[in-house]
Amino acid sequence: MTHIARMLAEGRSYSFELFPPKTEEGRLHLARTLVELQPLGPSFVSVTYRGGPSSRRPTHDLVAGIRETTTLEPMAHLTCVGHTRLELADILVRLRQAGIDNLMALGGDPPPPGAPAGELAHALELVELARAVGGFSIGVAAHPSVHPRSASREADRYHLAAKLSLADFAITQSVFAVEEYLALVDELGALGVDRPVLPGIMPLTSLSSIDRQRELGAVVPPKVEARLRAAGGEAEVRSVGIDLATELCQALLDAGAPGLHFITLNRSSATREIYANLGMKVGS
């Protein structure tokens, strides 16, 4: 097993984000996706966590399965929401026992009405707990457009800098403009932060995905939206979305980003097309 922090110290990383499927059909689809993505030689793959007790086993089983049955390096997501401190500590210990060295520590979305909020309020507390357990390379989330619940841009960057004072790296929510990513890195640098920040890449392959990203707090630049809406039918929109993502990836790499983190939604085709467009070789 390899710590992601060590990978990033040695060079660029290329990684994929997956989620635990809920159905047998979803599990079969994810298995095919893993087979298709493995030849690309990603640095690591991350597995999301929905929050609360219902996510414990699906995420653990998927990261453990990837660890045991593939050559891929897994990273487990974990959120504070819906858990006591003791429960989170138990999850962290079980991950270490399963040989999982890499962790994405997240605050998580607010629980639905009536559901327990959890004992830890912020991702920083989860980072501290993971450090106490020991053995993890720890990532945290960054919001280029500012977290929707942040009081201000300054407060958002201050709290992110505090997380990165203890964590090893950050992965952003979806980025759609290189300028947005560079502004985030510059603002962290002004606060004395030099940890690697990996941009999250989400190809916009349908018009509905524009609204979905806005709901998540991401900013889709008007010029990007205009190109997608002018594309025509579904196939044309998808093609333009792949082209836009490829252009963004190249611009990010040219600007010095330490890698790319592809949010796959358990599908491989868009990521494989972007790899091919960038001229990236298998295992690069």
What's the pTM? 0.94
Output helix, strand, coil percentages for the chain, rounded to the nearest 5: 50, 15, 35
**CA separation for the pair 90, 92 (Å, rounded):** 5
What would the pLDDT profile of 224-251 be if each residue is shown by its tens digit?
999 999 998 999 999 999 999 999 999 9
Please state the rounded mean pLDDT for residues 2-14: 94
CA distance 282 to 284: 6
143 torsion bin: left (phi>0), alpha (psi -120 to 50), beta (else): beta
Residue 115 has pLDDT above 80, yes or no: no
Question: pLDDT per residue over 19-73, tens digit each?
Answer: 999 899 999 999 999 999 999 999 999 999 977 777 788 999 999 999 999 889 9
Tell me which CATH code domain 4-275 carries.
3.20.20.220
User: Contact at 8 Å (CB) between 142 and 184?
Assistant: yes
Could you report how far apart the first and last alpha carbons of the chain are, in Å? Answer: 19
Domain ranges of the chain: 4-275
Active-site residue set: 17
Residue 214 pLDDT class (50, 70, 90 cuts): confident
pLDDT band at 284 (very low <50, low <70, confident <90, very high): very low
**pLDDT > 90? residue 113:** no
The pLDDT assigned to 276 comes to 94
